[in-house]
A and B are shown apart, each in its own frame.
Chain A
Amino acid sequence: MTAYFFADTGVLTGRTLRHVTRSMDTIITTVITPIAMMLMFVYVFGGAIDTGPIHYIDYMLPGILLVTVASGISYTAYRLFADMKSGIFERFQSMPIARSGVLWAHVVTSLVANLISLVIVVAVALLMGFRSGAGVLEWLAVAGILLLFTLALTWIAVIPGLSATSFEGASAFAYPLMFLPFVSSAFVPTESMPGPVRWFAENQPVTSIVNTIRDLFALQPVGDTIWIALAWCAGILVVAYVFAIAAYRRKIA
């Protein structure tokens, strides 16, 4: 059966991608929150936030990109839950196919859908004055980190997608993830925060990822931060994957 893993996953991915392209509203609602936040922060709050010599939009775009992914993966959970509920998931599982392809199709689709959203948000940021001297290598590094971050969050999204009992429950888990960048270096420098909050902000995953992307955009040396960022992403990915597979085993014999 594994001989067909790639063929089956490809066919099933084609199916879920059609779900995305035939409901572009899911892309629009994904990007509307980060774009609205970007407008608010740049044109309302940004003037009052001291980020030193760096332009505020250049400072906050990395955080906005993480919010975009956190917003996008709620649809990953939504699409998977819809398949569970409709019975088509079971139909696929009762067919002579590589069974795990059904999950991987959702994962690949999540990566593609989030990539589309990220490109749209970066385009809007460019219109609003975002500028970076980053070359191809730096952009590839940024894309790589965002891809790994999306993959990690996608496997988190698989857990409620498989085990939720309602559509609301399937997508509600994304809200705390969207909130996490606020208590990090994403929008304001952490130096202004009180002790315990500052400690949390400086040691949670978003800060290292945001700082790495910001340094890559600004052509600054990334130092050890990039390894901390990658370790966070890989760690979240492994733990989420283990729990997602456990949730899958509970559903399917």
Chain B
Amino acid sequence: MTAQSIAGPAIRVQGLVKSYGKLEVLRGVDFDVARGSIFALLGSNGAGKTTIVRILATLLKADAGTAGVNGFDVATQPANVRESISLTGQFAAVDEILSGRENLVLVAKLRHLKDPGAIADDLLRRFSLTDAATRRASTYSGGMRRRLDIAMSLIGNPPVIFLDEPTAGLDPEARIEVWQTVKELASHGTTVLLTTQYLGEAEHLADRIAILHQGRIIANGTLDELKQLLPPATVEYVEKQPTLEEIFLAIIGDDDPRDTAGTTTRNRG
């Protein structure tokens, strides 16, 4: 069911402008996202991240500028855009009254796929939700719900996935689970546009990072390119101090602590 893949960037945004009444949310946003990459839109609350995602997902019309997804224009070819994407909302949009399996079957049916039951069972296995398959989603923990949410987005293999604040409100363990899922997605060629206000998340996951501030992209590049915007780092040797997160994960027995422990800290300017 996915639309034909078309050459060029997976997402192209040019001169995007959007106001709510007198409040200018987007004031000329430009960026491209390469196919198969993870692109992070970084910004504080109210910077306009969600507005961009809503425009790209054909839920909102821009006042000016153009946006294309998978080669299709969001304003003139919205049906093709919807064939190409999946959206996971800021608040995990799962049906709380249905079971996890029923949620997956529902999406598979709406995407007109053959054998929705088998698709659901496969995803339940992949996302370690088989044991909870028949329980109502309202009984799930935050991390399980987010996994279900992402699993629902994968049905039909859309080439572009929007993750709007995928780890907001999750505990560290659940956050790492989501990060692993996102990395896996990109390794299979899916383009991921991720919005986040957690700097560590963008640093950890993204191939490119754009910083959205007051309705404009004020920086856009790889992490190394962004680092060069600042004066050269000076190297200082300091005693290795574990972060609270590492301590937390070590104590609760997570055997896969992130490799964020560093023996050096960069002391800028």
A residues sitting closer than 8 Å to B (CB atoms) are 1, 4, 7-8, 11-12, 15, 18-19, 22-23, 86-88, 90-97, 252-253
24 A-B residue pairs with Cβ-Cβ distance under 8 Å, sorted by A, are A7-B112, A8-B110, A15-B95, A19-B97, A22-B97, A86-B91, A86-B95, A87-B93, A90-B59, A90-B87, A90-B93, A94-B57, A94-B59, A94-B86, A95-B107, A95-B110, A95-B111, A96-B83, A96-B111, A97-B110, A252-B59, A253-B58, A253-B60, A253-B78
Q: Are A86 and B93 in contact (CB under 8 A)?
A: yes
Question: Do the beta carbons of A91 and B1 come within 8 Å of each other?
Answer: no
Q: How far is the CB of B54 from chain A (nearest CB, A)?
A: 8
- Which of B61, B78, B90 has its CB near the most chain A CB atoms (within 10 A)? B78
**For the side of the interface on B, what is the size category?**
20 to 34
Question: Known contacts A87-B89, A96-B82, A253-B58: does B95 contact A11 (CB below 8 Å)?
Answer: no
B85→A94 contact, CB < 8 A: yes
By beta carbon, the residue of chain B nearest A79 is B97
Q: Given B59, B90, B94, which contacts A88 in the complex, CB threshold below 8 Å? A: B94
A-B pairs under 8 A by CB, number: 67
Whether a CB of chain A sits under 8 angstroms from the CB of B98 is yes
- Most A Cβ at <10 Å: residue of B79, B86, B102, B109: B109
A8, closest chain B residue (CB): B110
User: What separation, in Å, do the CA atoms of A241 and B88 have in the docked complex?
Assistant: 30
Given A87-B90, A87-B91, A87-B93: A92 and B59 interface contact (C-beta under 8 Å): no
Q: With A and B bound together, what is the CA distance between A217 and B87 in angstroms?
A: 52
A19 nearest in chain B by CB position = B97
A12 touches B97 (CB 8 A): no
The A interface, classified by DSSP as helix, strand, loop or mixed, is helix
Interface centre among B85, B95, B96, B98 (most CB of A within 10 A): B95
A13 vs chain B, min Cβ distance (A): 12
Of all A-B residue pairs in the complex, the 3 with the closest CB atoms, nearest first, are A87-B93, A87-B89, A253-B61
Query: Of B89, B95, B109, which one neighbours A90 at CB under 8 angstroms?
Result: B89
CB neighbours of A23 from chain B (8 A): 97
Give the distance in Å from the alpha carbon of A230 to the alpha carbon of B163 in the complex. 49
Give the distance in Å from the alpha carbon of A91 to the alpha carbon of B86 in the complex. Answer: 8
Residue pair A96, B1 in contact (C-beta under 8 Å): yes
B132 within 8 A of A: no
Note all chain A residues with C-beta closer than 8 A to B59: 90, 93-94, 252-253
In the assembled complex, the CB of B2 is this many whole angstroms from the nearest CB of chain A, namely 9
Complex CA–CA separation, A95 to B110 (angstroms): 8
Chain B residue nearest in CB terms to A251: B59
Q: Could you tell me if A94 and B110 are in contact, using CB atoms closer than 8 angstroms?
A: no
Q: What distance in Å separates the Cβ of B141 from its nearest Cβ neighbour in chain A?
A: 17
**Is the Cβ of A92 less than 8 Å from the Cβ of B110?**
yes
CB of B106 closer than 8 Å to a CB of A: yes
CB of A95 within 8 A of CB of B93, answer: no
Q: Say whether, besides A19-B97, A87-B90, A91-B87, A12 and B110 are in contact (CB < 8 Å).
A: yes
Residue of A nearest to B90 (CB): A87
Q: How far is the CA of A88 from the CA of B57 in the complex (A)?
A: 14
Distance to closest chain A CB from B16 (angstroms): 14
Minimum distance in angstroms from B248 CB to a CB of chain A: 29
B116 vs chain A, min Cβ distance (A): 10
Chain B residues with CB under 8 A of A253: 58-61, 78
The answer, among B79, B89, B106, for a CB contact under 8 Å with A96, is: B79
Chain B positions within 8 Å of A11 at CB level: 106, 109-110
Q: Smallest CB–CB gap between A94 and chain B, Å?
A: 4
